[in-house]
Structure 1
């Protein structure tokens, strides 16, 4: 198998594992939301966010270096392994010395215990990552995908079973720990690499130099995406944070199943596009994304109330209102999501980092300004942040590669308008109980069908030509036959 085919196959299995994990995690999340109380559910979500941040220092940098090196060196890999183990232990000590006492005094004894238990996860990742890098270099992505899926499935089963047995918040913690341990053990057993003790530290500077910028970027990305969550958790408490977490869960799954895979493909494609054709390539990507993603965003927001009640239960009704507001972010998500990779593909990583800093500052500032007025105000601030950062990001992009916000709007406004009309119509129908259906499932099915019909009708009646132009971009162009009399190259 060629290197190209190995890469494509590996990407397919990675995306499949990601999709499987997202579906399983969403199902487990929904079950846990029904079983656990609002307060303890929010408490667990906060604890997981803290450990996710600590985990950045383990999962970023070192394994990427091993994958991109020209040749595999067991000595270098062993040194990387021991560095990771040192970092993992340091993180565990930090969690016990700092995070646990803070959780004890700011939330509760239970919060401190949950965070302490979660410290196992960074250590498990430290054990796994070098072995995972070895498997990735050998293009054993199918096996890795299987190990990841086995971990997710085992963790999900443990969470659900222990929750049904009355373990409360601990059920989620048990599941997360089992997931990490199962994936680590399977990866370790199947990898051909075995670490040895290394006395030569001459490669240590290379490891540190490679990892530092990646950790810094991940650090900024984490806080830019979690800024509003941090504000809500700190100022409004665990219960309020739980409602916000449930509201954002649906969109998180949508992002992971749509934007993330498309973003990986976009980086590979845009990096091979000539500068003069970059604008056209970006237009194609945003147009195709808007066609399919915008109606999903607006549609979930429009049916938020029956959706939340059906999936998570009646006690999460306040989350439905928040979900409907968050749906208004759809146009900004489509236009802005690819911008960092657009800059990176053109050799401008510093400018891409600037976009992340814009996200961080605005996403933190607006929720902080509005937190006094409560959760709904903070969520409105999140939506406003999306539009403000959109303007600022395109100012940077236009300056460096010449693509403007006006061009992005030209590629997506038809789909955003159709989605917004659909959103308004479906939301009005749901709020006024237009169809008078007696069951939630029937109501949800009718509303989804209504939304799909409205969106499709608007595109076919008002924007038929542009819609079919975008759909034609999905076709695979056949290879051209060489002219007669000329040899194939």
Structure 2
């Protein structure tokens, strides 16, 4: 089998695995949100946010390094193992001995105990990262996907079972520890790699030089994306943080199922085309992405009340209102999503870094400025600042590629008009209960159908050429994927 075909199959399996993991994780998330109190759920969500931050440092970009090597070097891999084990142990220790006591004192009593146990997760993950990289390098993506799905499923079943038996926050802790432990055991069993005590200083130097830039970029992106979460948690408390977490969870799942696959399929093309064609390729990406993603995310905002009632229950209706606000950021996000990838494809990593800095400063400033006006004010501020910083980001990339901000807006304009019209029709119909069958799932389905019909009608009536061009580009993309 050719390298290109192996890569394509590997990408397909990664995409399918991601979809499976997202759906299973969402199901577990929904069940736990129903079973736990808002305060308990907020405590767990905050602890997982800290854990997610710690895991950024554990990987250290070493997976990419191992996968990109021309040949597998056992000595290098063994050095990677001990290096990662040291880093993950250090991160776990910092969480247990520094962050946990601070959280217990300044955030909420009891959060320190939760973090103390969850500090084991980075260590459990760290022992199998090299094994995971070897499976991916050997194109054993099917096996890797199966291991991940099994671990997520078993951990989820344990968490839900314990929650049903009134274990509270401990149900999630034990489920998460089991998931990480099982995942590592299965990965180690699936590979022949066994680490001897081999540490090469030259390799350590290479790992640091390769991993540090990736780690800082990932850290900056994480803080930019999670600014609202941190500010809400520290200023408004546990319950408010829980509502934000639930609101963002649905959006995260939809983004992973729509934008992320498109990103993986389209972005590599930027590095394979000449500079004079980058702009046109970018406009095409914007048209196709907006055609699919905007109606999904903004449509979700329109039916958020019914969707939250059906899945999470009425105690989470505040999250539905937050979804209706935060979903509109997708319009600006589409316009800015691929800009860093274009800069990296042009070998302009400093410009890509600067784009991230602008996003980070904007989000942090907006969230802090609105913090004491309440949770809705923060949501509005973070949404607005994404639009405000957009022209600045375009000015940066225009120094290197001839991409017009005006033409970019024109590329997403038809989808934006269609999606906003759809939102207005569906949201107003829902407020006046135009559709009311008495069955919540049926009501939700009918409103979704109404939204789909409305979106397509606007495009066919006002933007017919755009509609057919988008369909043609999607078909071309599908043929390319095959």
Shorter-chain TM-score range: over 0.9
What pairs with 1:362-373 in structure 2 (closer than 5 Å)?
362-373=362-373
Q: Distance in 1 between matches of 2:62 and 2:454?
A: 49
Does the 8 Å CA contact 1:31/1:160 hold for their aligned counterparts? yes
Are positions 1:455 and 2:452 aligned together?
no
TM-score, scaled relative to structure 2: 0.97
Equivalent position of 2:183 in the other structure: 183
Distance across 2 between alignment mates of 1:478 and 1:68: 27
Shift of 1:330: 2.5
Q: Map Cα deviations across residues 93-127 of structure 1 (whole Å, 9 max, x no partner).
A: 11121111012112334211111111111111110
Matches within 5 A, 1:76-115: 76-115=76-115
Note if contact 1:58-1:84 (Cα within 8 Å) is conserved in structure 2: yes
Aligned residue in 1 for 2:446:
446
Listed one character per residue, the Cα deviations across residues 13-49 of structure 1 (whole Å, up to 9, x for unaligned) are: 1111110000011111111111110011011100000
Q: 1:220 to 1:451 in 2, by over 3 A?
A: same
Q: Distance in 2 between matches of 1:170 and 1:21?
A: 22
Tell me which residue corresponds to 1:11: 11
Give the 3-state SS of the residue equivalent to 1:244 in structure 2.
Answer: helix
Q: Per-residue CA shift, 1:408-431, capped at 9, x if unaligned? A: 111110110110011011100111
Q: Deviations over 1:357-404 (max 9, x none)?
A: 111100010010011110000000111022012222112122221212
Whether the aligned pair in 2 keeps the contact of 1:263 and 1:341 (CA below 8 Å) is no
Distance 2:115 2:163 in 1: 18
Shift in Å, 1:253: 0.5
Cα separation, partners in 2 of 1:199 and 1:181, compared to 1, 3 Å: closer
The separation in 1 between residues aligned to 2:273 and 2:452, in whole angstroms, is 34
Contact 2:92 2:121 in 1 (8 A): no
* 1:321 and 2:293 matched: no
**Counterparts of 1:396-415 in structure 2 under 5 Å?**
396-415=396-415
Deviations 1:285-330 (A, max 9, x none): 1101111110011110000111111110000111111111112213
Q: Within 2, Cα distance between the matches of 1:83 and 1:109?
A: 34
Aligned-pair distance for 1:474?
2.0
Q: Find the residue that maps to 1:202 and give its secondary structure.
A: helix
> What is the aligned partner in structure 1 of residue 160 from structure 2?
160
How many angstroms apart in 2 are the aligned matches of 1:432 and 1:284?
38
Give the 5 Å matches for 1:66-85.
66-85=66-85
For the 8 Å contact 1:244–1:322, the answer to whether it is kept is yes
Aligned residues: 479
SS at match of 1:401: coil
CA apart distance, 1:477: 8.7
- Indicate the RMSD between aligned Cα atoms, in angstroms: 1.4
What pairs with 1:78-477 in structure 2 (closer than 5 Å)?
Answer: 78-476=78-476
After superposition, the Cα gap between the structure-2 partners of 1:373 and 1:67, relative to the gap in structure 1 and judged at 3 Å, is same
SS of match in other structure, 1:433? coil
Distance 1:354 1:199, change over 3 A: closer
Q: Is contact 2:82-2:199 (8 Å) kept?
A: no
Q: What displacement does 1:68 show?
A: 1.1
Distance 1:81 1:418, change over 3 A: same
Aligned residues of 1:266 and 1:338 also touching (Cα < 8 A): no
Mapped partners of 2:457, 2:478: distance in 1: 31
Unmatched tracts of structure 1, length 5 or more? 480-489
1:466–1:166 distance in 2 versus 1, CA, 3 Å: same
User: Please, which moves more after superposition, 318-327 or 170-179?
Assistant: 170-179
Other structure's SS at 1:473 match: helix
For residues 49-60 of structure 1, the aligned pairs below 5 Å read: 49-60=49-60
Q: Does 1:23 align with 2:12?
A: no
Q: Which runs of 5+ in 2 are unaligned?
A: none
In 2: Cα distance, 1:478 partner to 1:376 partner: 40
**1:477–1:237 distance in 2 versus 1, CA, 3 Å:** closer
Q: Structure 1 residues 458 and 103 mapped into 2: Cα distance closer, same or farther (>3 Å)? A: same
Do the aligned residues in 1 keep the contact of 2:258 with 2:292 (CA within 8 Å)? no
Residue 205 of structure 1, CA deviation:
0.8
Whole-angstrom distance in 1 between the partners of 2:138 and 2:186:
16
In 1, distance between residues paired with 2:476 and 2:363? 39
1:199 & 1:98 partners in 2: Cα distance? 28
TM-score, scaled relative to structure 1: 0.96
Query: Matches of 2:420 and 2:22 in 1, distance apart?
Result: 27
Query: Aligned in 2, Cα 1:478/1:240: closer, same or farther, shift over 3 Å?
Result: closer
Distance in 1 separating the partners of 2:314 and 2:3? 51
Structure 1 stretch displaced more, 103-112 or 341-350: 103-112
More deviation, 160-169/467-476:
467-476
